[in-house]
Amino acid sequence: MAEPLQTRTRLEPDLRTRQPERRRGLGSEIWKHRYEYLAISPFYLLFAVFGLFPIAFSMYLSFQRWDGIGEMTFNGVNNYRFMLTDVEFWKAVGNTLLIWVYSTVPMLFSALVVAFLLNASFVKFRTFFRIGYFLPNVTSLVAVAIIFSTLFSNNYGLLNYILTQSGLNAVEWLNKTWGIQLAVSLMVVWRWVGYNAVIYLAGLQSIPTVLYEAAKIDGASGIQSFFRITVPILRPIILFTVITSTIGGMQIFTEPQVLVGNDGGVSGGGLTIVLYLYREAFVNNYFGYGAAVGWGMFVLIALFSIVNWKLVQGKSDT
Amino acid sequence: MAVTKWKSALLHTGLIAGFLLSIFPFYWLAVMSTRTTPEIYSYPPKLWFGTQLFDNISRVIANIDFFGAFMNTLFVASTCTVLVLFFDSLAGITFAKYHFPGKKGLFVLLLATMMAPAQLSLVPSFVIMAKFGWVGTYKALIIPGMVNAFGIFWIKQYAEESIPSELLDAGRIDGCGFFRLYWNISLPILRPALSFLGAFTFIGVWNDYLWPLIILTDESKFTLQVALSSLNGIYTTDYSMVIAGTLLAVLPLILLFLFISKQFISDIAAGAVKS
């Protein structure tokens, strides 16, 4: 007797509540899934406060003149006008682009070569090599910049020692625009070759070996199959690395800041866009102007990402 | 692939050369941290280890609160990592295994936030922190970073494949509530994905520089990277000490990485190729 009663009491409330719930519609649907919404809500709350709001606020701020403490005063487009006419800003843009080119091209090329070698079946100790190549990537940039400053030191650096030993003249690396840019680029290359190689390697491992065997039967050389098989199949992954290196390259800050200071060195060769933004906003306290520079930078990054996308994508049509 | 001995030797040589270039700066760092400042500035450079390591390290400890900075960094990085693991996995599992109205749209929104450019929010984020009164506190470092879109995406991908829905149903029949399904059933299955996300987050926070540099005002609260850069900026005459400090700051992370490297590297690769 107890059993049917129990099933009835267990079912009935369910039936009773389900009916009106349908009528109440979305509200009750949401209530029914309250735990799910609760579980995902931290992300959206935090994004609203620390992601979305700052972006909107930075737009507002970029039209203000503000030192961070006193009154904000409306400044119209003057921040932008100043930015576009400021020699230092354009210098920072130029420096950033040069460092990006100097670093990205050799970095991605070396990464591809390293990945290709690590993928060859006859190569031994592959895991060991992968770990060694990846190690620079987990090292802090501050430490890397300090280490590189001793390699590039004007008077006592290892590089100058090697130069003078081979009968050449020592170079004042950190007093020259191109010297600073070379040092920063080398830091980037050193730190990211292994990372990109690992990503390329994963792509390479997904290419069926049959393709290479077929090419070989057709008489293709190693280099031919590299450019005709490997590169085309890897194109989406190469695109990914180009885009991430562009975004990363446009945001270079720590390397020059630790290496040559807030002004980008004696010659200013290390003044990148983020370093410029940092200096104007947080050293000189031009907060409104800093926000405007942030938007300028955003436009540049978007522009370059699109150009890169088109370039790498465009190739696949031919 | 049949390869001639010559070719194999040549390629191995190339790989080894690149490998040596990769690890040389670490060797150089280690060598210099065992030398005195005059020796570092001497000519020709010393290429082999000296005897000053402990002396240099003791000066680091005497001049900056290295241990304090280390503990600060450890605190910030571990707190951030634990919170990221908790909130990301909670959200990731929910997106992977539950159905609720608006799920698809919310997930697209989540992916879209990854495009939000970080450099834009630098100044306003600082202003917000100032308004909250969080400047100079760890709240400013931890709270904005305690949940992120990448981690949620990563966990969702993994959870979709690895958590059987039948198992969750079985748990439900046994009377498990939402949180118990998460804590007792889903989390243990996600352990490999969590360990990668944890290591990734920990390394990222440990190495973070720009934001802590802006936020931290009080020397006693400096994280390792900020302390290290201030050491580098101030003590130019005692360079061997700066170098020894640098060594101390990178060593823990290198050891951590070597410990987890094999799995970590393949997870990086998997994540990049998938997305």
Average pLDDT, chain A: 84
Angular region, A68: left φ>0, alpha ψ -120 to 50, beta rest: left
**Residue A74 lies inside a defined structural domain of this protein:** no
Nearest by CB to B19, from A132, A155, A278: name it.
A132
**Mean pLDDT in residue range A264-277:** 90
**Residue A232 lies inside a defined structural domain of this protein:** yes
How many CB atoms are located within 10 Å of the residue B108 CB? 10
**Residue A72 lies inside a defined structural domain of this protein:** no
Q: How far is residue A255's CA from residue B229's CA, in Å, rounded to a whole number?
A: 11
Q: What single DSSP character describes residue B120?
A: G
**Residue A126 lies inside a defined structural domain of this protein:** yes
Using the predicted structure, report yes or no on whether residue A35 has a pLDDT greater than 80.
yes
Residues in B touching A195 (Cβ below 8 Å): 268
Report pLDDT for A8. Answer: 43
Residue A179 sits in the same domain as residue A138 = yes
pLDDT in tens, B6-47: 888 888 888 899 999 999 999 989 988 888 877 777 777 777
Residue A44 sits in the same domain as residue A144 = no
Nearest by CB to A121, from B1, B87, B121: name it.
B1
Using the predicted structure, report yes or no on whether residue B167 has a pLDDT greater than 60.
yes
Contact with chain A for residue B242, Cβ under 8 A: yes
pLDDT in tens, A141-168: 888 888 888 888 877 788 888 888 888 8
Using the predicted structure, report yes or no on whether residue A16 has a pLDDT greater than 50.
no
- Cβ under 8 Å to B: A residues 202-241: 202-203, 206, 212, 237, 240
Residue A28 sits in the same domain as residue A111 = no
Nearest by CB to B207, from A51, A117, A140: name it.
A140
Report pLDDT for B264. Answer: 83
ipTM, two decimals: 0.85
Nearest by CB to A120, from B1, B229, B243: name it.
B1
Residues in B touching A117 (Cβ below 8 Å): 11, 14-15
- Cβ under 8 Å to B: A residues 48-107: 49-55, 57-58, 61, 68
Q: How far is residue A243's CA from residue A236's CA, in Å, rounded to a whole number?
A: 11
Residue A87 sits in the same domain as residue A136 = yes
Using the predicted structure, report yes or no on whether residue B117 has a pLDDT greater than 80.
no
Contact at CB, A51 and B116, closer than 8 angstroms:
yes
Overall pTM surpassing 0.90 (yes/no): no
Residue A96 sits in the same domain as residue A172 = yes
A194: nearest CA in chain B? Answer: B22
Our CA-based measurement puts residue A38 at a distance from the nearest CA of chain B, in whole angstroms, of: 9
Q: How far is residue B268's CA from residue B29's CA, in Å, rounded to a whole number?
A: 27
To probe the interface with A, which of B35, B66, B120 has the most A CB atoms within 10 Å? B120
Report pLDDT for A315. Answer: 54
Q: How far is residue A280's CA from residue A286's CA, in Å, rounded to a whole number?
A: 6
Residues of chain A with pLDDT > 90, as a percent, come to 28
**Residue A167 lies inside a defined structural domain of this protein:** yes
Q: How far is residue B259's CA from residue B105's CA, in Å, rounded to a whole number?
A: 39
CATH number (domain holding residue A148): 1.10.3720.10
Report pLDDT for A181. Answer: 93
B110: nearest CA in chain A? Answer: A44
Residue A205 sits in the same domain as residue A233 = yes
Residue A27 sits in the same domain as residue A165 = no
Q: How far is residue A222's CA from residue A215's CA, in Å, rounded to a whole number?
A: 9
Residue A239 sits in the same domain as residue A123 = yes
Residue A57 sits in the same domain as residue A185 = no
Contact at CB, A150 and B28, closer than 8 angstroms:
yes
Residue A258 sits in the same domain as residue A135 = yes
Q: Count contacts between A and B (CB, < 8 Å).
A: 260
The closest alpha carbon to A133, from A152, A98, A107, belongs to: A107
B120: nearest CA in chain A? Answer: A294
Residue A116 sits in the same domain as residue A41 = no
**Residue A187 lies inside a defined structural domain of this protein:** yes
Domain that holds residue A169: 81-317
Report pLDDT for B111. Answer: 87
**A66 pLDDT tier (thresholds 50, 70, 90):** confident
Contact with chain A for residue B67, Cβ under 8 A: no
Q: How far is residue A262's CA from residue A280's CA, in Å, rounded to a whole number?
A: 10
To probe the interface with A, which of B119, B121, B215 has the most A CB atoms within 10 Å? B119
Our CA-based measurement puts residue A137 at a distance from the nearest CA of chain B, in whole angstroms, of: 10
**Residue A67 lies inside a defined structural domain of this protein:** no
**Residue A284 lies inside a defined structural domain of this protein:** yes
Residues in B touching A135 (Cβ below 8 Å): 22-23, 26, 254, 257
Q: How many domains does chain A have?
A: 2
Contact with chain A for residue B248, Cβ under 8 A: no
Residue A125 sits in the same domain as residue A264 = yes
